[in-house]
Amino acid sequence: ETQVDDAQVAQLLHWVCVLAALFLESAGFFLTFFAFASVLSYGKHKFHYGFWAMTFPLGTMHHATRVTGELTGWTTFSVIASIYGAMSVLWTILCLCGSTYDVYTWFFPPNSERN
């Protein structure tokens, strides 16, 4: 009769989950690359509210990569998580500035005459 230690089962489950997370994160890295490549290939864009759709995926990738780095102890994931975190913060600031400017121009159109 073979006995299996609880620690061995926990270690096996840990690495199975890490491999599943790496698979999902690799898809996220791939899609992030294509998203930024497609945006940059078309030149300058005017702000629109669809840009807000990027803040959640960037923040989620930051969190997932940070947790994977903590679970594995690999420094590479901490660096990638920092990059995703910085992109998330900068993108949110860009969206806030664009939204603020849009609301301002809605109240004060640029070509209107003021009394």
Q: Rounded to whole angstroms, how far apart are CA atoms 101 and 53?
A: 18
Give Dmax over CA atoms of the chain in angstroms.
92
Report the amino acid identity of residue 59.
G
| 98 within 8 A of 47, measured Cβ to Cβ | yes
Taking the domains of the chain in order of start, what are their residue ranges? 6-107
Instruction: For residue 113, name the pLDDT band (cuts at 50, 70, 90).
Output: low
Answer whether residue 114 shows pLDDT above 60: no
* Contacting residues for 57 by C-beta, under 8 A, at least 6 apart: 28, 32
Residues sharing a CB contact under 8 Å with residue 102, sequence separation 6 or more, in sequence order:
47, 49
pLDDT in tens, 36-90: 888 889 888 888 888 899 899 999 999 999 999 998 899 999 999 999 999 999 9
* Contact between 49 and 99 (Cβ < 8 Å): yes
